[in-house]
Amino acid sequence: MMKDYVSDLYEKITGESTGLGKLLSKIPGLDGYMERSRRREADQLLRETISARLEETRLQLGNVHHELSRDIIKAMDFAEPLGRADTRLMGLIGKIKDAPQGYAGFFDAVKVKEEDLAQLYAFDEGMLNHADQIAASVAALEKAAMDDGDIGGGIRDLTTAVQEANETFASRNEVLTGVE
């Protein structure tokens, strides 16, 4: 399903050629430039979608904070690990928003080879999956907080999900920079 979303997103952007765009695409060399421009737009839109999903999840995490604050013992026991998980999630969101685009333009400091684009799209698809996993972890944590369930285990699951997403995103940046 996520792969379809990434493909549909790219198709939507590449399919929106205007009459002027079609005319300009007939100029030698300009078609490749326009294709790269559309890829950049798709990459930017995809990263905005991922970060928006994670921001919504972070807002839901606020419900967990609120629920735990009803019991002073729980609030004290779980404030620090829940705060760390929230901070890591906020950091991930920032990294995604501020990341270099998936295709570099002619004058950009970071150049991305055409063959690396497919790998970047796979990372981005993985990030969509991670965003869903993080949302599921927060939902399970919220349920545990409301039902006197395993809150500590829920926080560990959330922390693990955020850490895995950070590792995937770091791998994406390795492709962009060529550094391993």
In a domain, 36, yes or no: no
129, part of any domain: yes
| 3-state percent helix, strand, coil for the chain, nearest multiple of 5 | 80, 0, 20
Q: Is position 142 within any domain? A: yes
pLDDT attached to residue 104: 47
> Alpha helices of 69-113 — where are they, by DSSP H?
72-98
In a domain, 157, yes or no: yes
Any domain includes 12: no
Q: Is residue 39 in some structural domain?
A: no
The domain in which residue 99 lies consists of 44-177
Token look-up 């005319």 returns 23
User: What pLDDT sits at residue 9?
Assistant: 56
Say what the pLDDT of residue 52 is.
Answer: 94
- 155 lies in some domain: yes
**Total number of domains constituting the chain:** 1
Mean pLDDT, 10 residues at a time, over the chain (180 residues)?
56 52 53 62 82 96 91 90 96 87 47 65 84 97 94 96 93 68
In a domain? residue 71: yes
Secondary structure letter of residue 25 according to DSSP: T
The pLDDT of residue 74 is: 87
Are 168 and 128 in contact, with CB atoms under 8 Å apart? no
Q: What is the reported pLDDT for 62?
A: 93
> Is the overall model pTM greater than 0.75, yes or no?
no
Report pLDDT for 25: 54
Per-residue confidence (pLDDT) for residue 158, from 0 to 100: 97
Long-range contacts of the stretch 69-75 (C-beta < 8 A, 24+): 74/145, 74/151
> What is the pLDDT, as a whole number, of residue 77?
92
Q: Which of 110, 111, 157 is nearest to 138 (CA)?
A: 157
**What amino acid occupies position 51?**
S
